[in-house]
Amino acid sequence: MSNNIPSDLKYTKSHEWVRQAHGEAPNGTLEIGITDHAQSALGDLVFVEVPDVGRTLSAGEACAVVESVKAASDVYSPVAGKVIANNGALAGKPELLNEDPYGAGWLFRLESNGSLNAAALMSASAYESFLAEESK
Amino acid sequence: MAFIPHTPEDIAGMLDVIGARSIEDLFDEIPKDLRAGVLNVPAPMSEMEIARLMGERAAIDGRPLNFIGAGAYEHHIPAPVWAIATRGEFYSAYTPYQAEASQGTLQLIYEYQSMMCALTGMEVSNASLYDGASALAEACLMAVRSNRSSNSRRILMPRAVNPTYAQVAQAIAGNQDISFVPVDFDRAAGRTLLEALKPHSGQDFTALVVQQPNFFGSLEEVDALTDWAHDNKIMLIAVVNPVSLALLKPPGEWGASVGGARGADIVCGEGQALGVPLSSGGPYFGFMATRMQYVRQMPGRIVGRTVDVEGRPGFSLTLQAREQHIRRSKATSNICTNQGLMVTAATIYMSLLGPQGLAAVAQASMQRTADLIAALGKVTGVRRAFTAPHFHEAVLILDRPPAAILAALARRGILGGLDLAERYPELGHALLVCATETKLGADIDAYATALAEAMKASRAAA
């Protein structure tokens, strides 16, 4: 099973990742997707539904749906914030999420006023341990 | 042998494993006051006793001359429909659990879906729902999932929509934080006017329901209503009689916007008129169709045509990822009962009649209703209620309460229509009548004669 866990991201128990945008993106912008483990467990995705730009999300709110031939699963927003972008490319090419879950397969970007809540989000090593524990 | 799969020992063993003392323990979480208590069910009967009881009950219904419609319609059902539907290969109410092993059943459902798409002018149909009323409730829930420009969970429900449907939608969707806002109908025309919607312009509504023909049998001005809805970012849910669609504009073409009509967004309704007998109220089946854009939000099963690994054509269930066996409480529906046997009959019925045959049924029904209204309108103290064009149903106004008149007619074996006093008290002494192709000139004359006599007797007694 595919299980790439980049060290520079934060993770949730429901298998989302969060990237703190830097470079060209303004401060406070977060990019969110689902992990390599999650895409691998779901199998070939046939449809991805992303939240509309402008929608305000609370932490833990179901806001996207990833659908494979086997199942449709909710994606939960790891933090509260306002959606400022979504990945429109997934509408025509859901396989982008299977091929590149941490890059071209991103789901949406949030403008979040608070900082990342360290307690609720895991580091790469903590997520790796969590996966090991979950698979027992 | 007893047709009970578990012996007392089996049950005791299973309870022991899960640590329960009795089967009753498994229902602990349901409060005592919500339980049905002891059911008053009579003792078991032999096959002979049951057959006799059913025969007696059926005889009570008799064979009345029926002029009631109001959502269930008496049409002639050609003999081959049920001769074929009850063949062993078809005689099941369900899509099989090993669906792909039953290619014949899947092909039949695929053909049904194709015919419903052709009738409604929509792009995709499901394999059926429970009945017309619950199909509307499902359509309301689907609209809330689909209309992403609306956050209000408010739906405009005209009073000219079948009140039973509105009630079922309220019961199902109302408990999911969806509210319904009534829209009045025009007292003279008997239909929903654009003027009644205009006060809601610019407000956030999720959907507008339009029934065509409406509960009174009147034809709504669907193009104007559809355009108003879309201009206000409101989804249009069409409730239609499939037989009428052989003559009327399909909902997929409703609206007259510049650049081509967008049409209804969701189409649903009751399928009983397509080869299913009245049967004292059921089983019937609901149908639903939509545009591809919303297919993932549509409840129920969908059969698709595909090819196997060797390239041979075949049929399979498709888009199952949001059904209840996978999504559980988050499924698009947890009531998506498939009325497979009724759908089988409907598919055979539509195949036998074809587009021209169905149009002939619709045309004849419309004509018979026109004849009926003309004949009854000549009776002293009876007049037509509304001016809007009708399909195969219309409202009459009597100069006295219909209840006693209907009772007198029933004594002569005539079901004279539906008394609207309870649902629409503002209409006064209103009676909803229907004639399909099954009512011949002599039947209509018999009703007119009986009505004239009943009215006369009532006047004399007053």
Residues of B in contact with A49 (CB under 8 A): 296
- Tell me: ipTM over 0.90: no
Residues of B in contact with A14 (CB under 8 A): none
Confidence of residue A87 (pLDDT cuts 50, 70, 90): very high
Instruction: Summarize the confidence of residues A89-116 as an average pLDDT.
Output: 90
- Beta bridge partners of residue B316, listed in sequence order: B304
Instruction: Give how far Cα B355 sits from Cα of B119, B281, B428, Å.
Output: 9, 27, 39
Closest residue in A to B149 (Cα) is A52
Inter-chain CB proximity A72 and B321 less than 8 Å:
yes
SS3 of chain A: the string is CCCCCCCCCEECCCCEEEEECCCCCCCCEEEEEECHHHHHHHCCEEEEECCCCCCEECCCCEEEEEEECCCEEEEECCCCEEEEEECCHHHHCCHHHHHCCCCCCCCEEEECCCCCCCCCCECHHHHHHHHHHHCC
Angle value at C-alpha B401, between B379 and B270, nearest 5 degrees? 85
pTM of the complete model: 0.89
- For chain B, list the domains and their CATH numbers: 65-72+355-461 (3.90.1150.10), 79-347 (3.40.640.10)
Cβ distance B382 to B365 under 8 Å?
A: no
Report the percentage of chain B scoring pLDDT > 70.
98
Closest residue in A to B294 (Cα) is A49
The Cβ-side half-sphere exposure at B75, using a 13 Å CA radius, reads 30
Three-state SS for B89? coil
Q: What is the dihedral of CA B104, B107, B108, B112, to 10 degrees?
A: 170
Quickly count: other Cβ atoms within 10 Å of residue B293's Cβ: 11
* Res B330: pLDDT: 80
B63 and A CB contact within 8 Å: no
DSSP characters for B294-307? GGGG--S-EEEEEE
> To the nearest whole angstrom, how far is the Cα of B299 from the nearest Cα of chain A?
14
Minimum-distance CB partner of B296 among A47, A52, A68: A47
**Nearest Cα residue to B112 out of B349, B358, B366:** B349
* Res B260: pLDDT: 65
Name the amino acid, one letter, at B159.
Answer: R
Residues of B in contact with A42 (CB under 8 A): none
Closest residue in A to B318 (Cα) is A69
Token pair 């006599």 is found at B453
- Tell me phi and psi for residue B435, to 5 degrees: -135, 130
Cβ distance B182 to B158 under 8 Å?
A: yes
- B30: Cβ contacts below 8 Å, ≥ 6 apart: none
- Average pLDDT for chain B: 94
Inter-chain CB proximity B321 and A71 less than 8 Å:
yes
Quickly count: other Cβ atoms within 10 Å of residue B186's Cβ: 16
Inter-chain CB proximity A47 and B148 less than 8 Å:
no
Please determine, for residue A119, whether its predicted confidence score (pLDDT) is greater than 60. no
* Touching B: A residues 34-63, CB under 8 Å: 46-47, 49, 52
Confidence of residue A27 (pLDDT cuts 50, 70, 90): low
- For chain A, list the domains and their CATH numbers: 10-130 (2.40.50.100)
Instruction: Summarize the confidence of residues A103-112 as an average pLDDT.
Output: 94
Please determine, for residue B423, whether its predicted confidence score (pLDDT) is greater than 90. yes
Confidence of residue A23 (pLDDT cuts 50, 70, 90): low
Residues of A in contact with B330 (CB under 8 A): 74
* Res A112: pLDDT: 84
Lowest mean pLDDT of A103-117, B223-237, B359-373, name the range.
Answer: A103-117
> To the nearest whole angstrom, how far is the Cα of A74 from the nearest Cα of chain B?
9
Inter-chain CB proximity A67 and B148 less than 8 Å:
no
B87 and A CB contact within 8 Å: no
Minimum-distance CB partner of B321 among A52, A67, A74: A67
pLDDT digits (tens, 9 = 90+) for B109-134: 999 999 999 999 999 999 999 999 99
Token pair, residue A95, equals 């396989």
> Could you give the CA distance from residue A113 to residue B97 in angstroms, rounded to a whole number?
50
